[in-house]
Amino acid sequence: MIEVIFLGVSAAIPMRNGTNAAYLVRIGNERILIDCGPAILQQLDAVGISPAEITHVFFTHRHGDHTLGYPMLMLWYEIGADAGAQVPTLIASELTFDALDTLMGVTYGPMDGVTESAPRITVPQDRIGRTQIHPNIMLTTIPMAHSNFAPSLGLRIETRNQFGQHVVAFTGDTGPNENIILLGRDADLLVHEAGYSATLNPEYAQGVYGHSTAQIAGRNAQAAGAKRLALVHVDAMYEGQELTLIEEARREFGGEVCLPVAGLSITIGQPDAPASY
C-alpha cells in the first residue's frame, strides 16, 4: 500500500494557519519527503513523524517555499538526531542542488560532514529521468512548465509486487503543459497544483505566473485517466472559497476530487498481482 500524508497544501504565501505545500509518501520501509519548505520541522512534528524516519527527499525546484527548510532539516541531523540516525538520500536536478548548497553555505556552513554524508541522486532537468530506489519502487521525474529561474520537475511514483501495482503523481508547481498527462497517466492519485481559480478569476483561465487553475487540474486528470485528484498549492486569496475550486475541477473530471487540509492522509490500494514497469 501507499500512504500519502499532506504536510502542507498552500502556495508560497500560505493561507492563515496554513503552510507551504509538502508531502510524505510511505511505501513499506521507504519514506519519501517531497519538497522541504521553511516550516518542514513543524510540519513533520504536527503529524508525529521524526526526520529520522525519512529515507529520501525529493526537491521539485529551487524556489524558497520548496527548499528553505533544507538547512533546518540538515541541522536536525547535526544536533537533534539520535546517534547513528541516517541522513536521507537527496534527489534533485543539478540546478536545484546548486541552490541547496548555497542555502547551506549562507545559513550554517559545514556541519561536520552531515550534509556531505547525505547520498545524492542528480536527475535531469530537461528530459525524463528514472530512479529505482527499491526493487519494487520506481521514481520518474518529468519536466514541468513553471519558471526559467526555477525549472520544476514533476514526480511519478510507481510500485509493484508486494506493494501492489499503483501510481501516485505530483506535478509540483506548473502551468499547463502536455507532460502532465504523461506524468499522471492512470494514476491512483494525481496531486496537481491549482494555484488559481478560473471560476473566480476568468482572466487566469489559461494559467498564470507558471501556475495552473483547478479547471486545468481537472482537465488534466480526466485526460490522464487518473482515479483521484487532489488540488494543492492554492493561493491564499481563495481562503474560504475552497469548495469553488473543488466544484471547478469536478466539472472537468469524473473521478474523486479533494482539496486536502494539512495532516490529511490518503491510503492507496491493496497488494495486487506482480507487474512490470
Res 82 pLDDT > 80: no
Any alpha helices (H) in 47-132, and if so which ranges?
A: 64-67, 70-75, 94-107, 114-117
Question: Lowest-pLDDT range, 83-87, 105-109, 270-274?
Answer: 270-274
- CA dist 145 and 151 (Å) reads 7
- CA dist 269 and 277 (Å) reads 17
Secondary structure tally for the chain: helices H, strands E: 8, 14
Task: Find where cell 511514483 sits.
Answer: 157
Backbone angles phi, psi at 128, to 5 degrees: -70, 140
**What is the set of domains in the chain, with CATH numbers?**
2-268 (3.60.15.10)
pLDDT, tens digit, 9 for 90 and up, residues 100-148: 999 999 999 888 788 888 999 999 999 999 999 999 999 999 999 999 9
Q: Provide the greatest CA pair distance for the chain.
A: 54
**Three-state DSSP class for residue 32:** strand
Question: For residue 139, what is the DSSP state?
Answer: E
Distance of CA 82 to the CA centre of its chain: 27
Res 194 pLDDT > 60: yes
